[in-house]
Structure 1
Amino acid sequence: MARSSISPDIGGLGGEAVVYTFTVWETESCSKMQKTEAKLSPHNKLNDLTGREWIKFTKSWFIHRPERRADAKILHPASFPESLAKEFILFFTKRGDTVVDPFLGTGSSLVACLETGRNGFGIEVMEKYSSIAESRLRIVAGEADSPSTVKVLHGDSKHLGGLWAREKMGLADYCITSPPYWNQLKRSDLRQKKRVELGYDTNYGDNPEEVGLIEDYQEFLAVLKQVFNEVYRIMKPKGYLTIVTNNVFQNGRLYPLAFDTVRTLAIEPCAWVPKDEKIWCQDDKALLPLGVNSAWVGNRHHQYCLIFRKETRP
């Protein structure tokens, strides 16, 4: 069953923020990675995995081939698969924990929360995509049969602290998200040709609060820092953060966005401690004729899953 409510001026946004709340019932087996409780170590404070499953996930690279995206989800120009989010959620949380996503998009992370018995809170600045997320979650909520609650909020994640407080949420246990890769989607090139032909979105629209529309690279990094400072403040001590991102090639040069994200978030105040990276290898992507007979332009078939932790430094 789904409930919707209007909360005026949440977090000082100067308007209305729409909050959708879903409570669902989880299926008996939500993932191959989850086993019966009898096989779990009583000393495992992080997740509900066995020792073998724990070790397997710590491999520094992985190949993930998600199922074909549904029509509603493919409307978003840069969605990431809920099956990938599910694997990270299963590792960094226990059943009943709370996950936050400040760049919700069409709701992949919250779908993963419902499918794994976690609670979730997602914020999306574009009303079109928050509505798609709400519709997707309504469908998933109708198919499950064990308690789990997620909330979709149409708002600005730069005000996450205020939004979180108004919703009377406890501290978050984990954050997984995929921010815009700077303004990369504003380009018109071979990578976008197919989406143009099909009439799908190729950028994030014209909302002035949309991070993916920022032209200046350093300003973009500063806004990312602002958002993840907010996440830091609502995160429990020793809670983890995973950011799916990539370096970008623009105007004839490489911008090391993934590496600059690590550097930027590690700066005080609210300094996240970088812990590691997992490389998502995308060997199922088609090769494009980029720069042929002219200059080097690589086919980037991987993404970085950056892992941070909130720690108290001495």
Structure 2
Amino acid sequence: MAVDTRRNLQVDPRNALNELTNTQWMVETKSVWFSKPPRRDKLKAQHPATYAESDIIRLIEFFTKPGETVLDPFLGSGSTLVACAESGRRGLGIELVEHWAQVARKRIDQNKRGAGQEVVVGDSRLIMPTFADSSFDFIVTSPPYWMILRKDWDHKVKAERKSKGLTTRYSDDNDDLGNCESYEVFLEELGKAFAQCHRVLRKKRYMCVVVSDFRHKSKFVPYHADISRVIESQGFDLEGITLLVQDSKNLYPYGIPFAFVSNIHHQYILVFRKNS
């Protein structure tokens, strides 16, 4: 079959989602991405769990057009809003902990295109109900991890955070979902947040959730599968999964020489859509 190269060099007039050409669109649908994050600046390095702005920019530019609105209900150090600034979108991020909200604001202020990005301090389960229905074009976030930052220091934590005097947990706040004692309660509370995400997202638009699986003591937790079920139960449809390979991460001798313990060098980008 002949390919119309002219159409592939320009944005299809039927494309209401983004400003990518057909060729650019096709490249971004590959189910494996290789993350190539730049070195983290001092502000970003303070936070114990971050993702690369370069990866989030790719998502934002695929799922929105310039000027559209993006929500991150678990903002952290502000990477989503930095990505919004770089890509010409209007972002709003909700962060529970005032310290991390301040870090996010400083990072946004350092960006020449940061004007118009908004940081709201509070519990996303309580803040989002104040938003109007269907008020955002796209949602992208990395939700909290259950108890993962409260476990005993392993090789990675000792080498990459404790030795440098960096914090090893989000907070001690009782409202911090990462501090839930029960994994089932943790998932249930996350479900409340994602129910609000479904309400405030416009119909037929998308939400991307970036997560890793993890170990809790001796148990391997398939977090991406568990959180997918939670989100689908709130009305979203899972449209696909992109594997985000993190080849630049360090290797550590977990389990040697007694047992297999994986060095987890990938994340999952879970792509959901509000179809109803």
TM-score (ref. length: structure 2): 0.93
1:73-93 per-residue CA deviation (whole Å, 9 max, x = no partner) reads 100000111111101000000
Question: What SS is found at the alignment partner of 1:263?
Answer: helix
Show the counterpart of 1:249: 215
Matches within 5 A, 1:131-142: 131-140=102-111
Matches within 5 A, 1:194-233: 194=159, 195-233=161-199
Question: What SS is found at the alignment partner of 2:131?
Answer: helix
Show the counterpart of 2:158: 193
Alignment of 1:288 onto 2:252: yes
Matches within 5 A, 1:157-196: 157-165=124-132, 171-187=135-151, 188-194=153-159, 195-196=161-162
Unaligned runs of 5+ in 2: 1-8
Moved over 2 A (4+): 160-165
Alignment of 1:236 onto 2:202: yes
Is residue 160–residue 231 contact of structure 1 (8 Å, CA) maintained in 2?
no
Show the counterpart of 1:276: 240
Alignment of 1:302 onto 2:271: no
Is residue 160–residue 230 contact of structure 1 (8 Å, CA) maintained in 2?
no
Alignment of 1:150 onto 2:117: yes
Amino acid at match of 2:266: H
Question: What SS is found at the alignment partner of 1:276?
Answer: strand
Q: CA deviation at 1:170?
A: 6.3
Distance 1:70 1:163, change over 3 A: farther
Is residue 134–residue 199 contact of structure 2 (8 Å, CA) maintained in 1?
no
Question: What SS is found at the alignment partner of 1:242?
Answer: strand
Alignment of 1:73 onto 2:44: yes
Q: Matched residues, percent identical?
A: 37
User: In structure 1, what is the Cα distance between the partners aligned to 2:200 and 2:214?
Assistant: 30
Show the counterpart of 2:4: none
User: In structure 2, what is the Cα distance between the partners aligned to 1:131 and 1:247?
Assistant: 28
Show the counterpart of 1:85: 56
Amino acid at match of 2:227: T
User: In structure 2, what is the Cα distance between the partners aligned to 1:99 and 1:70?
Assistant: 23
Distance 1:153 1:231, change over 3 A: same
- Greater shift, 53-62 or 148-157, is seen at 148-157
Unaligned runs of 5+ in 1: 1-37
User: In structure 1, what is the Cα distance between the partners aligned to 2:207 and 2:146?
Assistant: 19
Is residue 129–residue 196 contact of structure 2 (8 Å, CA) maintained in 1?
no
Paired residues, number: 266
Is residue 10–residue 22 contact of structure 2 (8 Å, CA) maintained in 1?
no
Show the counterpart of 2:19: 48
Amino acid at match of 1:279: L
Question: What SS is found at the alignment partner of 1:209?
Answer: coil
User: In structure 2, what is the Cα distance between the partners aligned to 1:144 and 1:276?
Assistant: 31
Alignment of 1:127 onto 2:98: yes
Is residue 62–residue 279 contact of structure 1 (8 Å, CA) maintained in 2?
yes
